[in-house]
Amino acid sequence: MDRAVNENSPSPDRTSDAASEPWTVRRILDWTTAHLEKHGSDSPRLDTEVLLAHARNCERIRLYTNYEDVVTEQERALMRQLVQRRANSEPVAYLVGNREFFGLDFYVDKNVLVPRPDTETLVIELVDEAQKLTNPFILDLCTGSGCIAISAAANCHNAKFQATDISEPALAIAQKNAASNELSNQIQFLLSDCFEQIPPGTLFDIIVSNPPYIPDAEIEQLEKDVRQHEPRLALSGGKDGLDFYRKIIQEAGRYLKDQGLLMLEFSPEQEADLLALFKATGEYTNVRVKADLAGRARVIIGQKLPILK
Ligand code: GLN
């Protein structure tokens, strides 16, 4: 009966020709997944689902509860643009303007590094230490999207933060993220190349940073997504990748209270260099390294020795 109706109907969908099948959610998901896989995405199905949910302005789960819905022309037009950009390796987070980190939503675009799950290890350690203190004052250097200071603030309501970045657009994004997460009252943002604009004499309980750490020669070997789309400024750590660590580890002592903590994220192969940099200052005790969820060395923590008077 249905078939007879279809055959007599003038609808372009009545033939079995694939080109005239309606573009349902299911068909778009399958087609796009194959397309993105061909263009080198590591997670083509997930990318496709996130993009289609964005184009349809719905939650991902709604794609599956409306699997046979025909996607509107307007949504398909938006999806086509997103897929084209993703096929050109643009990170999904930039395409949808959002990334979840530590259970919070962060706006991101090409001016900031996309927050990485690895960085949650640093935040866990930071929150753990901050919660032991009464009213801690914490400095986050190279804040980027603000993900470290903001997610720590959300979990330590007694803590106050200063967050710096050398990039004006990055700082504007961090500010916007603090506001959207309703944490602006805990965080002060400062345009500054590391410690440069911190007033002398300011002392923190904890200084934290996930600075740029890719050695110059390795930038060209990074995945296309990162190399072509994420900000160089947020990646490049100089010739050996350690420029920011040298600067931060040498200068942090001046801005830390006695027994204050310096906590830095790094790339696993830099562990020995970082231990040596901490040791060379002679200013830290209790230096320890924490592993990420994959078991790789990821965070280094040192405690400032009290100055002997
Ligand atoms: N602190 C930000 C992050 O962890 C930015 C880091 C960076 O730009 N190197 O994502």
**Cα 26 to ligand 1 centroid, rounded to whole Å:** 37
Kindly state whether residue 222 falls inside one of the protein's structural domains.
yes
56 conformational bin, left if phi > 0, alpha if psi -120 to 50, beta if neither: alpha
Kindly state whether residue 59 falls inside one of the protein's structural domains.
yes
Render pLDDT for 41-56 as a digit per residue (tens, 0 to 9).
Answer: 999 999 999 999 999 9
Kindly state whether residue 163 falls inside one of the protein's structural domains.
yes
Q: What is the pLDDT of residue 308?
A: 63
**Atom from ligand 1 closest to the CA of residue 235:** 9
Distance in angstroms (rounded) separating the CA atoms of residues 251 and 277: 12
C-alpha 138, offset from chain centre: 20
Instruction: Output the domain CATH number for residue 28.
Output: 1.10.8.10
Residues 47 and 164 in one domain: no
Distance in angstroms (rounded) separating the CA atoms of residues 125 and 151: 12
DSSP-assigned beta bridge partners for residue 206: 138, 261
Q: Per the structure block, which two tokens stand in for 250?
A: 């040498």
Residues 60 and 170 in one domain: no
Residues 116 and 211 in one domain: yes
Distance in angstroms (rounded) separating the CA atoms of residues 103 and 125: 16
Q: What is the pLDDT of residue 20?
A: 78
Residue pair 268/297 in contact (Cβ under 8 Å)? The answer is: yes
Kindly state whether residue 144 falls inside one of the protein's structural domains.
yes
Kindly state whether residue 174 falls inside one of the protein's structural domains.
yes
Q: Which residue lies with its CA nearest to atom 5 of ligand 1?
A: 144
Residue pair 178/184 in contact (Cβ under 8 Å)? The answer is: yes
Residues 182 and 283 in one domain: yes
The parent domain of residue 66 ranges over 17-88
Residues 24 and 64 in one domain: yes
Residues 55 and 159 in one domain: no
Distance in angstroms (rounded) separating the CA atoms of residues 28 and 79: 9
Residues 292 and 261 in one domain: yes
- The total of other beta-carbon atoms located within 10 Å of residue 140's CB is 30
Render pLDDT for 208-235 as a digit per residue (tens, 0 to 9).
Answer: 999 999 999 999 999 999 999 999 999 9
Residues 226 and 291 in one domain: yes
Total of domains in the chain: 2
Give the end of a domain, one of 60, 88, 116: 88
Distance in angstroms (rounded) separating the CA atoms of residues 304 and 139: 15
Distance in angstroms (rounded) separating the CA atoms of residues 245 and 242: 5
Q: What is the DSSP string of 242-290?
A: -HHHHHHHHHGGGGEEEEEEEEEE--GGGHHHHHHHHHHHT-EEEEEEE
Residues 254 and 211 in one domain: yes
Q: Per the structure block, which two tokens stand in for 247?
A: 């600067």
Instruction: Output the domain CATH number for residue 282.
Output: 3.40.50.150
Distance in angstroms (rounded) separating the CA atoms of residues 50 and 237: 32
Residue 74's SS3 state is helix
**Cα 309 to ligand 1 centroid, rounded to whole Å:** 37
Residues 24 and 154 in one domain: no
Residue 126's SS3 state is helix
Kindly state whether residue 4 falls inside one of the protein's structural domains.
no
Question: Which amino acids are annotated as binding site, given as ranges?
Answer: 165, 210-213
Kindly state whether residue 113 falls inside one of the protein's structural domains.
yes
Q: Which residues approach ligand 1 with their CB closer than 6 A?
A: 113, 115, 119, 142-145, 147-148, 210-212, 234
**Cα 83 to ligand 1 centroid, rounded to whole Å:** 26
Q: What is the pLDDT of residue 306?
A: 87
Distance in angstroms (rounded) separating the CA atoms of residues 96 and 59: 13
Residues 42 and 181 in one domain: no
What are the residues whose beta carbons fall under 8 Å from the beta carbon of 244, sequence distance 6 or more?
Answer: 142, 194, 209, 211, 212, 213, 237, 238
Q: Per the structure block, which two tokens stand in for 165?
A: 């970045």
Kindly state whether residue 264 falls inside one of the protein's structural domains.
yes
pLDDT in tens, the chain (309 residues): 333 333 333 333 444 456 678 999 999 999 999 999 999 999 999 999 999 999 999 999 999 999 999 999 999 999 999 999 999 999 999 999 999 999 999 999 999 999 999 999 999 999 999 999 999 999 999 999 999 999 999 999 999 999 999 999 999 999 999 999 999 999 999 999 999 999 999 999 999 999 999 999 999 999 999 999 999 999 999 999 999 999 999 999 999 999 999 999 999 999 999 999 999 999 999 999 999 999 999 999 999 998 765
pTM (global) more than 0.85: yes
Q: What is the pLDDT of residue 235?
A: 96
